[in-house]
Amino acid sequence: MLTLLLIINLLLSVNSAVCRFKETVEVEGEKLQEEGYFYFSRGQGIRWDYTGEERKTFLFVGGFVWEYYPQENFIRKYRPELNFWLIMENPRRWQEVAEEIREKKGKIFVKLKGGEEVKIEVRKGKIRRISFGDTSFEFLSCRYNTKLPSSLFQPTFFQRNRKK
């Protein structure tokens, strides 16, 4: 139980974050990489802005995911089946999405309901990598607990930027 409390305290110590990220996905033995910016603000949401060739934004707000592809002028809103990000938003609610959380050598393993496992690598008290299935996110150049504008987490952002 002490380990779980330490993990919860670690996650609760981050009220906001801005990071560059590199995403690596392995598809049929080939590694594909994308990068962009990650924004997190407790109580407001989580946002992923992909800055590569295929620009896109994923916004996690109020239990929903908004996907936005500006080049295609495409927006989609849906409720994910299992929302791992609920643990980031409120770590005390981990039992809603996870069967188990354990720690080993600076890595946190979260077994989600449904069987998938998420691995969180921590260095110097900060999250540096999150991996699940064939996908891994590495967080770089992070700034923590800084003020972020609430407009970053508003789905109306997509509406203002849509092509007419």
pLDDT bucket at 37, cuts 50 / 70 / 90: very high
Is 108 a residue whose pLDDT tops 90?
no
The pLDDT tens digits of the residues spanning 42-82 come to 889 899 999 999 999 999 988 889 999 988 889 999 987 65
Q: Give residue 140's Cα distance to chain centre.
A: 14
Query: Lowest-pLDDT range, 21-25, 76-80, 92-96, 108-112?
Result: 92-96
pLDDT band at 158 (very low <50, low <70, confident <90, very high): low
More confident residue, 82 or 6: 6
pLDDT for 68 equals 93
The CATH class that applies to domain 2-161 reads mainly beta
Question: How far from chain centre, in Å, is Cα 58?
Answer: 9
User: Mean pLDDT in the chain?
Assistant: 84
Ranges 49-58, 83-92, 94-103, 104-113: which has the least confidence: 83-92
Domain parsing of the chain, residue ranges: 2-161
Q: How confident is the model at residue 129 (pLDDT cuts 50, 70, 90)?
A: very high
- 92-113: burial string, b at 16+ Cβ within 10 Å, e else: eebeebbeebebeeeebebebe
